[in-house]
Amino acid sequence: MLEAENRTALQLSRRMRRLRRSETIRGMVRETSLSANDFIYPMFVVTGQDVRQEIGSMPGQYHLSVDQMAREAAELRELGVPAVLLFGLPGYKDAVGSSGYDANGIVQNAVRALKDADPDLLVITDVCLCEYTDHGHCGVLDDSGNVLNDPSVELLVQQALSHAEAGAEIVAPSDMMDGRVGAIRAALDATSLTDTAILAYAAKFASAYYGPFREAANSAPAQGDRRGYQLDPANAREALAEIALDIEEGADIVMVKPALPYLDIIRRARDRFDQPLAAYNVSGEYAMIKAAAQRGWLDEERVIPETLIAIKRAGADLILTYHAKEMARWLRAR
């Protein structure tokens, strides 16, 4: 009996080995694959003209002025990347982030420019106050520096409406205020914007992996931190509860952020919820690969696909990643 079991195990092992013999065979039996259609490309829009300035902590990523949007749309169309996520760096900031919900704000103008350049490009906008407030928090503050939830939600609703009116097909609240998804959904449904979808940053953790983004978006808090409203990295059940709440409030797509340290959350969310699931391969994850590749410690043409396939294998339907362009180029070349 033991000898028969050993023969069976050996046959199985050899069968799997035979199916690894060539790239053609490996490709035919591959369980998970990537395509450019999986990616959403984040972009940082700034004031000014003819601005294309590389971000120091994120090699290969740029601050772009609105007049650069047509060039970006053409490149993304050529590469087959179907969607972008816009972050705005306004010309002025104040305590209530008023430039964030200005009808002629930086993101609103960028949305219009992108839709004019390529009506088929899917434009998603980040909805949050942190890029627009002079204190850098995701909501308005009381006199003691505490974030006020309900007044913040009122302003986030205004911001989401202004983005949708400018032409964004999806708005993406990232602030982690309680009840903001339901409030935004109700406001959209009360207007002609009911077809606008919501991609909720449903499980957004208070992560150290956001460091390069805060430089790129000039959004680091002037005092304190965001642990009072973003998720504790130790809590998985709480993350699933937050996702469930956002779905109940009307989110069309839910997201886990960051991706790599939270692959277990992505997997658990995929197993529990049928909603489309996104994962954000954040700035710190991107910057670590770029820094290691620049020093010759990693082969980025191998490690980037391995990284992104891990996120998709964990259960993500959509991947927000700064690697979108280069990965799309490599996929086309194969």
The count of C-alpha atoms lying within 13 angstroms of the C-alpha of 152, restricted to the half-sphere facing its C-beta, is 27
Residue of 204, 290, 312, 325 marked active site: 204
User: What is the distance between the alpha carbons of residues 171 and 152, in angstroms, rounded to a whole number?
Assistant: 16
User: What is the distance between the alpha carbons of residues 197 and 122, in angstroms, rounded to a whole number?
Assistant: 11
User: Which residues are CB-contacts of 221 (< 8 A; sequence separation ≥ 6)?
Assistant: 130, 135, 136, 137
Locate tokens 């150290």: which residue? 208
Element counts in the chain: helices (H) and strands (E): 12, 10
User: What is the distance between the alpha carbons of residues 95 and 137, in angstroms, rounded to a whole number?
Assistant: 9
Identify the bridge partners of residue 312 per DSSP, sorted by sequence position. none
Residue of 257, 290, 312, 325 marked active site: 257
The answer to whether residue 257 is catalytic is yes
Task: Please say whether the beta carbons of 62 and 297 come within 8 A.
Answer: no
Task: Please say whether the beta carbons of 198 and 181 come within 8 A.
Answer: yes
The answer to whether residue 312 is catalytic is no
- Dihedral sign for Cα 141, 147, 148, 153, please: positive
User: What is the distance between the alpha carbons of residues 10 and 163, in angstroms, rounded to a whole number?
Assistant: 60
Q: Catalytic amino acids?
A: 204, 257
